[in-house]
Amino acid sequence: MFDKEIVEELEAIRSRFPFPKAAMVPVLRRVQELRGWLDSDAQAWVAELLSVKPIEVHEVVSFYPMFYGQPVGRHVLHVCRTLSCDSCGNKELWDHLETKLGVDRNGTTDDGRFTLKAAECLASCGTSPVMLINNKRHENLSLSQVDDLLEGCS
């Protein structure tokens, strides 16, 4: 499934821990980075790397909000919905994105470009409006800056 280089990288992550299973989350994050989401083949491959059963990977993937067990768009947008951000611009940011992209919570645009997700507190409480685009943080946003950022995402 992966090039030798990637396999070595993942094995190096695995070696940080006394038990291979403990590499579960960092390995899954990297695999998700490479494949976009964690399909069942990817999960089975990880299970083998970590000497666990596929269901043990499934249990973990289905738990964490930042693991995608379903396909996502090429660019995943996370907008914090918790109080500090919500009351300081993120509510408006969310509405803007919902309207602009024509999707609702967890939805993906028809062209497969964007998936819009509501996140809980991202620890950017003092710099809202804030969003993550593919896990990269963009703070103190104006709506026009948001539009520019989206423009730059093919």
Partner 1 sequence: MIKLTIDGQEVEVAPGTTILEAARDELGIDIPHYCYHRDIGSDGNCRICLVEVNGNSGKLAISCQMPCGNDMKVETANDVVVKARKGVMEFLLANHPLDCTICDQAGECPLQEYSYEYGSAESRFVEHKRNKPKHTEFSDKVMFDAERCILCTRCVRFFEEVRDDRPLGVEGMGGESMISLGPNGPLTDPYQMNIIDICPVGALTSRDFRFKQRVWFMDFVDTVCPGCSRGCNISAGSYQGKLLRFTPRRNAEVNKSWMCDDGRLSYSDYNLTDRVRGARIDGQAAFLDSVGERLDALVGDGSGVAVLASTKSSCEDLFALRHWAESRGVTNFWHGAASWEADGFLKQADATPNTAGAQQLGYEPVPGDGPALRGLIVSGDVEVPPALLADLDFLVMQAVQESALTTEAAVIVLPARTAVEKKGTWVNSAGLAQAIAPAVDPGDGVPEDWALWRELSKKVEDWPSVRYVTAEMNAWLADRSTQTPLVAADS
Partner 2 sequence: MKLSSVLSARFEKPDSHLLEGYRADGGYETFLSVLSEKRDPDELTALVKASGLRGRGGAGFSTGMKWSFVPKDTGKPVYLCVNGDESEPGTYKDRQILEFDPHALLEGVGIACYAIGSHKAYVYLRCEFQLGCERIQAAIDEAYAAGLFGKNIEGSGFDLDVHLTMGAGAYICGEETSLLNSIEGVRPYPRNKPPFPAVEGLFGCPTIVNNVETITNIPHIVKRGAEWHAGLGNSDDPGTRLWCVSGHVATRGVWEIETGYKLQDLIDGPCGGIRDGKKLKAVIPGGSSSKVLLPEEVAQVTMDTPGIRAFGSSLGSAAIIVLDEDTDMVDALVNLMKFYAHESCGQCTPCREGTPWIVKILVRINEGRGRLEDLELLDDLAVNIEGRTVCALADGACWPLTSILKKFRHEFVAKIPSAASTEEVVGA
Residues that bind partner 2 (CB under 8 A): 16-19, 21-26, 28-29, 50, 52, 56, 59-60, 63-67, 78, 81-88, 119-128, 132, 135-137
Q: Choose the contact partner of 95 out of partner 2, partner 1, none; CB within 5 to 8 A by kind.
A: none
3-class DSSP state of 5:
helix
> Measured from the CB of residue 67, what is the shortest distance to partner 1 in angstroms?
11
- Residue 40 binding partner 1, by CB under 8 A: yes
Residue 122 binds: one of partner 1, partner 2, none (C-beta under 5 to 8 A by kind): partner 2
Which among 104, 50, 99, 111 has a CA at the least distance from the CA of 75?
A: 111
In sequence order, what DSSP letters do the residues of 23-79 get, joined into one string? GHHHHHHHHHHHHSS--HHHHHHHHHHTT--HHHHHHHHHH-TTS-SS---SEEEEE
- Please report whether residue 62 would count as binding partner 1 according to CB under 8 A: yes
Contact between 54 and partner 1 by CB under 8 A: the answer reads yes
User: Among candidates 91, 80, 95, which has minimal Cα distance to 125?
Assistant: 80
| 58 interacts with, out of partner 2, partner 1, none, CB within 5 to 8 A per kind | partner 1
Residue (51 or 110) nearer to partner 2, CB: 51
For residue 89, the minimal CB distance to partner 2 (Å) is 11
Residue from 22, 122, 13 nearest 78 by CA = 122
- Contact (Cβ atoms closer than 8 angstroms) between residue 35 and residue 2: no
With CB under 5 to 8 Å by kind, the binding choice for 7 among partner 1, partner 2, none is none
Q: What angle do CA 135, 141, 142 make, to 5 degrees?
A: 145
Task: List residues near partner 1 by CB under 8 A.
Answer: 40, 43-44, 53-56, 58-59, 62-65
